[in-house]
A and B are shown apart, each in its own frame.
Chain A
Amino acid sequence: MAGWNERVTDLSIASTMTFDDVACAFPASLQEALELMADEKTRGRLLAGGTDLMVQWESGVLAMPERAVSVKALPELRTIEETEADVIIGASVTHMDIRRSPLTQKHVPSLVDAAATIGGFQIQTMGTIGGSVANASPAGDLAPSLMITDGAVVLASVRGEREVPITAFWTGYRKTDMQPDELIVRFRLPKMPEGYREAWRKLGPRQAQAISKVMGSCRGCVEGGVVKSFRVAIGSVAPTCVRLYDVEKWIEGKKLNEGTLAEAEKRTSDSITPIADIRSTAEYRKWVTGRIVRGFLEQFADQ
């Protein structure tokens, strides 16, 4: 950092490093990557598609690290598979892979819809699900669709693997439950049950290439106008993406009508305290989050 001149106005001189100064390792296997990460001397900033990190480094928002470890090409992290109950998505699977896979399209449709709204084709082709989740931005568009599955992040290190529920993975603004020697290897996402539906809604300043003002996903089932099950998660309104457990609990078992819809909208807005930033105001976010949840329920009720 430019220590001598403390009051730099120009982001371009905030960091005096360039990407050429970063020593980037390209391990050939997962085992090799885990070993690199195990040792403090070889450990580096994990780099997948680079679509978040490169921008943050270039602009000086994030200091460039001395070392990086690229995991984008690790074959173990690049597959989408299924078991009886779950879809298993490797950490280096790209947003474009998610859009195109019949497995994700069938079993986690709102994740597919969310992936389709991230950046443009170039970003979707480079950016990965593991990178997006590790970046831990509250505006990360995949987060709500992952949260509503009640699935898990699988972390690995030379010490072995462990599963963390997605709902517990983000511990604060840009903070995660990962240890310094761990990397994300895959996501285990329970499939959408028979008769259930998912929905996705993103509000951005424009129709494409937009960072969300507010976005959310839901998974649920409405039978005979009565809510049998409803899970909803919203991003960009708190330090992390949030599940709205109180709203979920309240609406379950209720018959959908103007009264319950209005109450669900109100309870949703009351349950969050978003902030204002360059993309939107706190008041609008609070209100429109309630509107989005209302819209989800209306959509389910129409079926």
Chain B
Amino acid sequence: MVMAVKELGTLHSVGKGIPRLDADEKVRGLAQYADDLNVPGAWYGFVVRSPVAHGRLRGLKKDPGFDWSQVVVVTPEDIPGNNIVDLMGRDMPFIAHDVIQYLGEPVALVAAASRHLARVAGSHIRADIEELPPLLTLQDMVARYKEDPAQLHELASQTIRKGDTEKALSEADMVVEQEYSAGHQEQLYIEPQGMVAIPESDGTMFIHGSMQCPYYINPELCETLDIPPEKLRVKQSAVGGAFGGKEEFPTLLAGYCALLALKAKRPIKIIYDRNQDILYTTKRHPSWSRYRVGVMKDGTIHAIQTEFLLDGGAYTTLSPVVMYRGILHAAMGYRCENVAIDGHVYRTNTFPNGAFRGFGAPQALWAWESMIDELAEACGMTPHEFRLKNCLHQGDSTPTGGILRDSVGSPTVLEKTLERANFSEKLKQCSHGRRGEKKWYGIGLSFFAHGSGFTGDGEARIKAKVALDLEPGDDGKPVVNVRVSSTEMGQGTCTILPQVAADALSIDIRHTAYPMPDTFKVPDSGPTVASRTAMVVGSTIFSAGKKMKAELEAFVSAELFDGQPVVLEQDRFCGSYGDKEMSFEEAAAQYLSRKGSLRVYDQFKLPEFIKWNQKTFEGDAYPAYAWGCNVAELEVDTLTFEIRVTRVTSYWDIGRLLNPVLAKGQVEGGLVQALGYAMLEKIEIKNGKYDADRMQTYVIPTTLDIPEMDLHFVEFPYEHAQPGAKGVGEIPMDGLAPAIANALVQATGIRMRDLPITPEKLFQMMHEEKTA
């Protein structure tokens, strides 16, 4: 698997801005999203929900006046297997049967011939609940934590220890203490959640719909449906955006559909409308960080002590790993030999929070990169001098003691961004809240790394499996099908993976294809998460492609070219005697007619030297890191305190660029999502319920809110798996919020430590400062 650079060969597809292979069908409206699936005989499912956030379920009452013969109702007694959604914890039921932990928790499922009738029937079921006091907000959670953490229900915790932090804090010239917080963020993909469950005549349950991770649903659902994995087929339909929101949640929706389908003995479809989708699906975890950092007079970071808290919502779900990624990034990026980090996830009575682009890192880096500016100020240094002095270099050790052996984009991305943005000069022009100006100008910096692939030993445990199939395509011509469970959800998987396969084989990309993942046809290449697809799955496909290439060369040599050595190069098989040549298409057709289809497998392996202790969190937390640096410039209207981010300058090291156009699209989109997180998106809880439950009230950026973006890549390819991509999916989400907060300080003199950054908060803090 590990391959030296010389074996990479010439690249014809990788590195090119090849147009998305799914563009045509999506632009022409041919792509089939979950709601487009025409399933004859399907009924519509509806979830009946708890109207209270916390309580004890005494029972359900069905309106005796309603005609129940026209609908199907599922309650926990109808579940054939265990009423458990098996994620990181086994504490969440599909349908509540005892304690209600969040407002909207399912108490029954209903299906009917029309969506409308299912809803009407749902309104005739009443849950009898003895109410209990709920814990709803991050603020209340943190207040209890400070008072006594024992009052809280802990869903997960983890520590990181390096050196002797308490001793180092006492040695430091200065200790700076600060707290930061951030609220919920909704993924707000264009296509809401949707799923269909079809019970087949042979006893197979076929799940078809909008999802990121087909192999989450199988096996998770098998236990609940009490069927063997080979009787559960999961296929992805076209997905209109996911951002983590379709990582674990679709298992719930698939469960609702399948349970109804079993009882109704017919296909069931559930498509959430936007209101349901915002109220009853996962969101980014609200977070709170507290730092005590010891620095020396010369600006050296001597000790980092931090607590990182996540509001987990009602159940464990994926929260432990979100917190792990959070704490692994909470002190990352800078040299320090004394680090103590404590991560906790506590239960609150809201919908379980879950995966969202960045997965804990944006929350951690929001706090840490704000803190870095505060430390620089405490040391009397500029933000860039302080970062340049302390940032990690190749060979340095991370907070978990992992060594940055190779492909280290630090400090290059930092230096290049500073130069490109003319940071040190522009920093001198900042307004600092001077009176008499119509606009205040500020510039701010953030610098960060994002671990590529699963945290810790995740990749070693999953051992991503891929297959390449040489088989006849729809037109009868040979095609190399990429068989993976890694999904296309708008980010580019269905283009970059064929690019990699084409270059591994040295064939034209038109001979490759990416069929929609179907667990009956593809091996488990792992979930499409954690910025892992390009690096982990891409490199495994590359080595599978090399295997297929060797197999085909051997075939052509033996059976077509009289035994002479053969090389497949740029779509042609060439005999080494120079007298024989054959196109890939012709030779592959010969292969198919003589030997039938060809399947090659491969499996991802981490390099031997990657060591990780999952218990103590010591060692190499990730096989590699992507690196990024953001400079944000903003203007504050001194009349109204409206804040406008005018320009973002950034450099990114995401390893080898597989497709620069798609990579740029990922960065631009991620920065816009980060802009929303930083300045617009907020959900508060009023009477137990999210106050923003529609696109009217949940406000995300429009094109007019997007600043000028000056984006550049520098390539430090991952050296231990070709072609050397490191991952770009999440890192653009990580650093913009602190860069904006840091710019706001330079513009106004006000430090914002809670997201989002709004004119209302700026007004309040300016006012408090004036009256203080």
Contacts and interface: CB of A to CB of B under 8 A. Distances in A.
A9 B123 contact: no
How many A residues are at the interface, by size bracket? Answer: 20 to 34
A205 B699 contact: yes
A256 B767 CA distance: 26
Interface stretch (B377-385, B424-432, B580-588, B685-693): B685-693
The winner among B125, B126, B759 for most chain A CB atoms within 10 A is B759
B760 A4 contact: no
B51 A8 contact: yes
A206 B275 contact: no
Contacts of B701: 206
A278 B691 contact: yes
Contact of A206 (B51, B65, B697, B699): B699
Contact of A292 (B640, B684, B767): B640
The winner among A278, A280, A292 for most chain B CB atoms within 10 A is A278
A210 B275 contact: no
Nearest to A277: B691
A273 B474 CA distance: 69
Contacts of A196: none
B123 A5 contact: yes
Contacts of A287: 763, 767
Interface stretch (B114-122, B322-330, B709-717): B114-122
Interface string A194-218: 0000000001011111110000000
A96 to B, nearest CB: 18
Nearest to A55: B696
A211 B696 contact: yes
B104 A208 contact: no
B116 A295 contact: no
Given A10-B279, A206-B701, A288 B691 contact: no
A5 B52 CA distance: 13
The winner among A2, A10, A13, A288 for most chain B CB atoms within 10 A is A10
A59 B680 contact: no
A8 B120 CA distance: 12
Chain A interface SS verdict (over half): loop
B276 A12 contact: yes
A285 to B, nearest CB: 9
A191 interface: no
A8 B123 contact: yes
Contacts of A209: 702
A29 interface: no
Interface string B700-711: 011111000000
B246 interface: no
A208 B703 CA distance: 8
How many B residues are at the interface, by size bracket? Answer: 35 or more
B279 A208 contact: no
B639 interface: yes
Given A280-B760, A291-B639, A205 B49 contact: no
B694 interface: yes
A284 B693 contact: no
B71 to A, nearest CB: 14
Interface in B195-235: none
Interface string A273-299: 000001011011001100110110000
A4 B119 CA distance: 13
A295 B439 CA distance: 13
Contacts of B52: 7
A18 interface: yes
B764 interface: yes
B64 to A, nearest CB: 10
B646 to A, nearest CB: 12
Nearest to B676: A206
Given A9-B104, A281-B760, A206 B123 contact: no
A10 B104 contact: yes
A207 to B, nearest CB: 4
A79 interface: no
A20 B273 CA distance: 18
Contacts of A4: 63, 65-66, 123-124, 126
Given A2-B120, A287-B767, 11 more contacts: A4-B65, A5-B123, A5-B125, A10-B276, A12-B119, A12-B276, A16-B123, A203-B640, A206-B705, A278-B691, A278-B692
Interface of B: 49-52, 63, 65-66, 103-104, 116, 119-120, 122-126, 273, 275-276, 279, 639-642, 680, 684, 689, 691-694, 696-697, 699, 701-705, 759-760, 763-764, 767
14 contacts: A2-B123, A4-B124, A7-B51, A203-B759, A206-B702, A206-B704, A208-B703, A209-B702, A210-B699, A211-B696, A278-B692, A281-B760, A284-B760, A295-B640
